[in-house]
Structure 1
Amino acid sequence: MTWRWLSRALVETIHSEQIDEHVGAQGLRDADALEAALARPRNKAAYGTPGVFELAAAYAFGLARNHPFVDGNKRSAAVAMELFLELHGQELTASDAHLVVAIRDLAAGDLTEDQLALWLSDSCVARRAPPLHGATSSP
């Protein structure tokens, strides 16, 4: 499968829009933490054969746990994860309340990345993926 990765610019835009919409402090706290979060799913793909749910969970884990932004890390993690799923033909059907609990538990260390991937596989349905600017492809 060819993966469509989320670019740094796209994730920074996601963060900015989440802060604008839901209030909080704008800004990047740690550029290296952001780069590490964005590299996490790519590394999984380079050294294994993960599926879309594992890679989406890796984005969420990296963003929620690395805390690259001043504020809004969990919100950014949730949106990036859901966007990655949509880019690969999956629609998250869980309620917003269930998503909030999952991301909060992930950030707190009460839910593992693997558990999140399993939850995603149970909480998504297949659909057609639309094109999106800001994502890059690689095999």
Structure 2
Amino acid sequence: MKEPRWVPEQAVIAIHDELILEHGGCFGLRDPNLLSSSLARPKHLFAYSDSASLFDLTAAYAFSLAKNHPFVDGNKRIALAVIDVFLRLNGYELVAAEEEAVIKINDLVKGIENQESIATWIAGNSQEL
């Protein structure tokens, strides 16, 4: 697999701010290092795994953003948004119903789902653009 197009940190912050404006909540980063760590996780997976798919990398974004809680509020929302943005940057779109996607991210945070199961779900609910 060739190197994917990554979601830049400033874009994640801007998307988060838009989500907070639209849906309410508190602005701001709780820990900038946790955001950097969250965005590095899929890059490390790409660099050190011979078998990571685009969907594995997407799940790594979702897992790290949802579980690391880098923002004061809206971490699950930004996890879902970054799934969408990363897939679109790389020629795919998530076609799952919004309600199902929200349940999956909530289950990820609760520990019912894990990064691997989310990757499988993303793969089964994505299509090429």
Give the TM-score band, short-chain normalised. Answer: over 0.9
Number of residues of Structure 1 aligned to a counterpart in Structure 2: 127
State the partner residue of 1:34: 35
Q: Which residue is equivalent to 2:6?
A: 5
Are residues 1:24 and 2:25 paired? yes
In structure 1, runs of 5+ residues without a counterpart are: 128-139
Identical aligned residues as a percent = 43
Larger RCO: Structure 1 or Structure 2 (Cα < 8 Å, ≥ 6 residues apart)? 1
Q: What residue identity is the alignment partner of 1:54?
A: D
Which segments of 5 or more consecutive residues in structure 2 lack a partner in the other structure? none
Match of 1:85? 87
Q: Give the 3-state SS of the residue equivalent to 1:125 in structure 2.
A: strand
- Which whole-Å CA distance do the structure 2 matches of 1:96 and 1:84 have between them? 17
Runs of 4+ in 1 over 6 A off after TM superposition: none
Q: What is the Cα-based RMSD across aligned positions, in Å?
A: 0.7
Length-normalised TM-score, structure 1: 0.89
Partner of 2:104: 102
> If each structure's strand is expressed as a fraction of its own residues, which one has the higher value?
1
> Secondary structure at the residue paired with 1:6?
coil
Instruction: Give CA-to-partner distance per residue, 1:12-39, whole Å, 9 cap, x none.
Output: 0111011000000000001111011000
Output one character per residue of 1:63-116: Cα deviation in whole Å (capped at 9) or x when no partner.
000000000000000001111011111111100000000111111111000000
Alpha-carbon distance in 2 for matches of 1:55, 1:92? 14
The aligned amino acid for 1:33 is L
